[in-house]
Chain A
Amino acid sequence: MPKRADIHKILIIGSGPIVIGQACEFDYSGTQACKALREEGFEVVLVNSNPATIMTDPDTADVTYIEPITPEILAKIIEKERPDALLPTLGGQTGLNCAIQLHDSGVLKKFGVEMIGAKEDAIKKAEDRKLFKEAMLKIGLDLPKSGLAYNMEQAKEIAKEIGFPLVIRPSFTLGGTGGGTASDWQEFEQITQRGLSYSMISEVLIEESLIGWKEYELEVMRDLKDNVVIICSIENFDPMGIHTGDSITVAPAQTLTDAEYQKMRDSAIKVIREIGVETGGSNIQFAVHPETGRQIIIEMNPRVSRSSALASKATGFPIAKIAAKLAVGYTLDEIPNDITKETPASFEPSIDYCVVKIPRWAFEKFPKADQALSIQMKSVGETMAIGRTFKEALQKGIRSLEIGRFGLGADPKDEYEARSKSPDFKTEISKKLSTPNQDRLFYIRYALKEGFTVEQIFALTKIDRWFIQNIKEIVELEDEIKGSAMCPELMLKAKQFGFSDKQIGHLQGSSEAEIRGPRINGGISAVYKLVDTCAAEFEAYTPYFYSTYEREDEVRLSGRKKIMILGGGPNRIGQGIEFDYCCVHASFALKEIGYETIMVNSNPETVSTDYDTSDKLYFEPLTIEDVLNIADKEKPDGVIVQFGGQTPLNLAVALKKAGLRIIGTTPEAIDIAEDREKFKVLVEKLKLRQPVNGTAFTVEAAKEAANRIGYPVMVRPSYVLGGRAMEIVYDDESLEYYMTHAVKASPEFPVLIDKFLDDAIEVDVDMIGDGETFVIGGMMEHIEEAGVHSGDAAMVLPPHTLTKKIMDEIRQATYALAKELDVVGLMNVQYAVKDGKVYILEVNPRASRTIPFVSKAIGVPLAKLAAKVMSGEKLKGLGFTKEIIPPQISVKESVFPFVKFPGIDIILGPEMRSTGEVMGIDVDFGRAFAKSQMAANSALPMGGKVFISVQDSHKEKIGPIAKRLRDLGFEMIATKGTAAELRKKGVESEEIHRISEGSPNIIDLMKNGDIKFIINTPSGKKPRQDEVKIRSLAVALGIPCVTTIPGADAAVKGIDAMQKYGPEVRPLKEWHKALQDKLRQ
């Protein structure tokens, strides 16, 4: 069937900010879809609130809205744009839910918008647990015993009938939010309560527990002619009971016979037909009993998903792109397979390698969170590795994780020797094996080394014996390497088992370099093979490579000038999609000016690892060894390390030593910025100002320094990222605690102590330079005071309270630093302004997290320009020589994963904890801020009751805020002290009991839905239990809660603006045009 001629304009909804369960995979899929549809001549209207996406680049879609993804806003956009169709299946759960709401509210009908890809009834049939169950029974598929409950009574009835253990799962939530497993009544009630409140329709499914069964996923595609193909099968290493997003997964399935696989395939085809997903990709999950083979269907996602991104990268089959084409009427056989060119997309990829995906968690940021892995996803990112064997892929995957490991143990971080001395080691191992956790993989190794059998480990973990056996073989080879001289056979085998030179060196008592040199001289080097969708049956044209140690190398070298771009590896807190965005831009920019671009990355969710993005893609870990291997082959003319965040930056010096040309700011300059002592010298030389600081190796020295500097001080270990283990310390006692508990200071790793600038305004500056010309890209004023990590703070561009004098001082300081560091490329500086004085907090001579936001705010692709500059072009030639100060206001707000970690405190601090960001653009601060809150899923209330409780030092400032809230029509509820203070300021408030004083207290009111807004600043350094309870309940119930005075002030401005004007939508192009107009004046 040819493409449809009756639709012209298509609306695509993105997935919004990066959150746990919904990461950059939807930027990848959405971007692919936009490209695919525009290629076919359709006009694409795109909505996404996340500026750090390629899809929101001005040239990805025809019309781009960086606006909140809410039904209200979408309705306005639809009214304005009048699209013919809405493609709801590419924006994750957010996009899908929003589309359903637009349908239910009649908006789609009113404006004649057709849902393509999946219709509302198909979506509902798949998403609504009850309808899904009925559909599955109808086609004869086996399901777990289950019942639906809408309240606690019903839930208990069902639980009695099925019996414990049970799984409780709310309908219509993302990544299993609010779900859990229960083996007794207490657990059951707790989880059910939570589940009911999280579900969009207050519905939970109570289900027979299948914990320990094998878990599988199939990625399925269907076209309008009812052709169905399976793109990829995925076997979960971790069995049922651990969310697939938290499981190590392997493609293709490893332990199913063909008969069993075909049975699953048949079921999947039946499912997609019965559910009625018309076109595009779906993800279907199955459980298989390990001893009987009984197959059970778990769920279907009627849209592209995290797993489909993985499947696309694992096979080379671009699911989202094809899904988009199918949605507009093409059939699979009409679409060519890009990779082979000659064959069509109506086939099932055959792969001739093994793919391993490993999740990346961020528990170090949430030490109080429950770290056990369960049916609710907790990981923040993932890495994928390709090898010719599972063993090879697994070890590559581990060293891609960016957790300082170089494979499955046997590396400098290996703790086996030390731990095995503990008498309880075996007990500990058993415990760690039976309760799933992020270190389980390493405990399997410990177990094997301690003599546990495959069977014993299987009994404890229910991980398939095949996987454990393979790990056992790795461990056995480790022992062999340790005990022998490295003959060529052993070396080859070690490399084929995925051992890194670092590990081999560790086992052999030599350095990485001492292994690498002789190995290569001995003729054992990595070869690269193609990911080609067809197991070499046809010639492949897209250069998408992975390394292995075998006979044949398939790399085809070109004679062109080439630049290698190092990506950022797995998403984690502090290093997310923003860096991938920059890498992608670098690639696009350098392609534009004639370079061959070579991308190296290991993150399957990203646009950078789309085989279409760069001229060549190497899906590899970002370690020195792996990068040098590629460099040996490709001999690039330059390497870019400043775009992928800290990961590639950490390799800079070693790469340079190995003879590679690092383009842009030199590794030496980077080092000056990162080395505290060198930086201090620089600051003094430039006569700039830093907070008073000191360095301490011992507790005593620390106390001495802190007293000299004066409390409060900011303490942190040297060399950390994203504010890891940073704390504000107020007295000797807490300093001592910090020095002995939080970090263990040592001669090697001193603790850094800075004067903490309280009540200071923090400012972020992004700058671009070419060595001659330096231009500020954007200056952002933080809304929260300094002390809240810049990655967590909301920011406004241009600054809205700073004086011109201060801003000019900041500009001068930035230019001085840039000149001195001879910046070629990007640089980010953080300042704090206190009492009219400007202090430098830190300089990052690289792309920062805010580059995409700034680029979109000023309408200039900074990362692209930077890449060009790094390759030798000049800003003058590129036409960017003057700072742009936009007439409109852009606000960046951060999004936090607190809802996934029930009970933890949400107070912001110097340790970054946000996973993503959104952008609000509007003509004034109030409206822009209000939009950013709406986009961040905590829309400001327009009226109702506000609960106010602030610390003593804030009581002065809360008065005016409360007054304005009252004038805006809110009613105040406050705790005693705050109430008294408000009364003094002439604001009446309803006084309420402390929690400890009994009911009715604030908790009751919140649960009743009486509270619409909370202003609660922490009462002291150590928050009281009461407060934590209130704040974490606010998160669970979705009540907007601000924890800082500036935040509250901004909220009031936002509410005021929204009450006056209401939200309005405007495409990015119009904002940019306004900018251009202003520039021309």
Chain B
Amino acid sequence: MKAHLVLEDGTHFAGEQFGAEAEAFGELVFNTSMTGYQEILTDPSYKGQVVTMTYPLIGNYGVNDEDVESSKPWAEGFVVKELSSIASNHRSRGTLDGYMKKYGIVGIQGIDTRAVTRILRTKGAMKCVISSGDSDVKALLEKVKASPGLIGRDLVKEVACARPFDWPSQPGQKPEFTVAAVDCGMKLNILRNLNRIGCRVRVFPAAATASDIMAVKPDGLFLSNGPGDPEAVPYHIKAVRELRDKLPIFGICLGHQILGLAFGGKTYKLKFGHHGGNHPVMDLRTRKVDITSQNHGFAVDIDSIPDKQMELTHVNLYDKTVEGMGHRELPVFSVQYHPEACPGPHDAEYLFDKFAGMMRENKHA
């Protein structure tokens, strides 16, 4: 079946439909990871976004039961050059096409994804629609223009858990810490990593208040990744502001932005964001460079945080944006990128261990 991709600036691409038959709107972004499409699709941070893969051959190894970052795919739509007609991997349990059908996600293939990427790179991320079937392109463009954008929109509530739950430590492991993790669309590998460093985790919905959280007497607070504009979740910012000097805190991605806001700073939208697995990030204290997994459209303006409370600890060597910060006095730190990887390199996994260290120190202090 035919399908159309129409961008907010009027650019139209015709292609072939796969996955579900549907009409899906979202902000169009490109991701430069060459592997990990299943993790990308199931990353809740992609809520509200249509993802273009710059790597042209997608679906080669199918989908499996393990490489998921949440219970289902969240991206609104998927744009690829060529979808593999078979799934070839010993762990595969089905094709990407079947998977997207099952979860109602529309895909379009046969697209000059490099052309798409170049448009986004020069003009910035923009709204789009993927529509399967024979649609009227003009009408689609009108619909795209009328569709909501990301700014100011609370997408977190659509992906976060509805009520708190326990993520126990691994069987046979005696948990060293209790961590409260606020779920704004948390990736599963964060929980796996928290387990790895000896945590049992109490997962809270994004709307949890400070007292909800303190009630479980956590050793540390974890702020998760999540979709969209950080300013659109004031309730979460408020809770973090109240807790900011009470506990060791570690934030990732949206969690990092929330922390910035909770300390009185500002965030802003990047032109086309960072989505991929190859960005170099320098730890300014060691001057070492990690290759990082990235997925964000907003960034923290560290200079806007009053009293220079936050020290810039990590910087993106591509565009010099803020990739990490740490409080000058409190056991509070965060990174914009994804130490939990999935997909992407494991270079920054040590940050979880650093969090453990902080909690340990705080506990014994």
List A residues at the B interface (Cβ < 8 Å): 225-227, 229, 252-262, 265-266, 289-293, 331-333, 342-344, 346-354, 388-390, 454, 464-466, 469, 473, 529, 534-539, 550-552, 554
Contacts and interface: CB of A to CB of B under 8 A. Distances in A.
A702 B44 CA distance: 79
A474 to B, nearest CB: 12
A258 B344 contact: yes
Given A262-B343, A538-B318, 17 more contacts: A255-B60, A255-B61, A293-B90, A333-B280, A333-B282, A344-B317, A346-B289, A348-B345, A350-B276, A350-B277, A352-B117, A466-B61, A466-B84, A466-B86, A534-B278, A537-B32, A550-B112
27 contacts: A227-B288, A252-B34, A255-B89, A256-B61, A256-B89, A258-B344, A262-B341, A331-B289, A332-B280, A344-B280, A346-B289, A347-B279, A350-B34, A350-B54, A350-B277, A352-B117, A389-B57, A464-B88, A465-B86, A466-B86, A473-B85, A535-B55, A535-B114, A535-B276, A536-B114, A536-B117, A537-B30
Interface string B300-330: 0000000000000000011000000000000
B121 A538 contact: yes
Contacts of A257: 35-36, 38, 61, 64, 67, 89, 91
Given A346-B289, A466-B84, A551 B121 contact: no
B289 A537 contact: no
Contacts of A261: 35
B313 to A, nearest CB: 16
A386 to B, nearest CB: 11
A550 B117 CA distance: 14
A289 B115 CA distance: 37
Contacts, number: 163
A212 to B, nearest CB: 14
B231 interface: no
Contacts of A229: 291
Contacts of B55: 252, 350-352, 535
Contacts of A265: 345-346
B358 to A, nearest CB: 24
Nearest to B113: A352
Given A227-B288, A347-B291, A352-B56, A551 B112 contact: yes
B8 interface: no
B82 A389 contact: yes
Contacts of B66: 259
B13 interface: yes
Contact of A535 (B32, B38, B64, B115): B32
A349 B34 CA distance: 10
Interface in B31-68: 32-36, 38-39, 54-57, 60-61, 64, 66-67
Interface in B262-283: 276-280, 282
B159 interface: no
B342 interface: yes
Contact of B91 (A293, A332, A351): A293
A352 B341 contact: no
Contacts of B276: 350, 535, 537
Contact of A552 (B90, B114, B343, B344): B114
B316 to A, nearest CB: 10
Contacts of B364: none
B187 interface: no
A348 B56 contact: no
Interface in B78-136: 81-82, 84-86, 88-91, 112-115, 117-118, 121
Contacts of A349: 278
Nearest to B120: A536
B346 A225 contact: no
A695 B86 CA distance: 56
B287 interface: yes
Contacts of A550: 112, 114-115
Given A252-B34, A352-B117, A552 B112 contact: yes
Give the residue among A258, A291, A293 with the most B Cβ atoms within 10 A: A258
B90 A258 contact: no
Contacts of B82: 388-389
Contacts of B90: 289-293
Contacts of A353: 56
Contacts of A252: 34, 55
A538 B56 CA distance: 18
Contacts of B113: 352
B158 to A, nearest CB: 25
B346 A266 contact: yes
Q: Which of A454, A469, A537, A538 has the most CB of B within 10 A?
A: A537
A390 B57 CA distance: 8
Contacts of A332: 280, 289
A572 B333 CA distance: 59
Contacts of A262: 341, 343-346
Contacts of A534: 32, 278
A205 B5 CA distance: 57
Contacts of A537: 30, 32, 54, 117, 121, 276
A343 B115 contact: no
Given A229-B291, A537-B276, A255 B34 contact: no
A291 to B, nearest CB: 5
A891 B288 CA distance: 51
Nearest to B40: A258
Given A389-B57, A536-B117, A255 B291 contact: no
B277 A255 contact: no
Contacts of A551: 13, 112, 115
B11 to A, nearest CB: 10
Contact of A350 (B13, B32, B282, B346): B32
Nearest to A1: B287
A897 B33 CA distance: 42
A551 B110 CA distance: 10
B149 to A, nearest CB: 22
Task: Give the most central of A225, A352, A552: most B CB within 10 Å.
Answer: A352
Contacts of A292: 90
A900 to B, nearest CB: 33
A744 B36 CA distance: 55
Nearest to A250: B57
* Nearest 7 A/B pairs, CB to CB: A258-B36, A552-B115, A535-B54, A258-B343, A466-B88, A258-B35, A551-B112
Contact of A348 (B38, B121, B291, B343): B291
B280 A347 contact: yes
A261 B38 CA distance: 14
Contacts of B118: 536, 552, 554
B59 to A, nearest CB: 10
Contacts of A454: 86
A1026 B276 CA distance: 64
Contacts of B34: 252, 350-351
A537 B36 CA distance: 18
B88 A255 contact: yes
Contacts of B60: 254-255, 466
B251 to A, nearest CB: 23
Contacts of B85: 469, 473
A529 B277 CA distance: 22
Contact of A469 (B88, B280, B282, B343): B88
Given A350-B33, A352-B55, A259 B86 contact: no
Contacts of A352: 32, 54-56, 113-114, 117
Given A258-B36, A259-B67, A388-B81, A346 B117 contact: no
B197 to A, nearest CB: 18
Contacts of B88: 255, 464-466, 469
A225 B32 contact: no
Nearest to A257: B61
A249 to B, nearest CB: 15
A119 B130 CA distance: 55
Contacts of A347: 278-280, 291, 317-318
A257 B278 CA distance: 16
Contacts of B13: 551
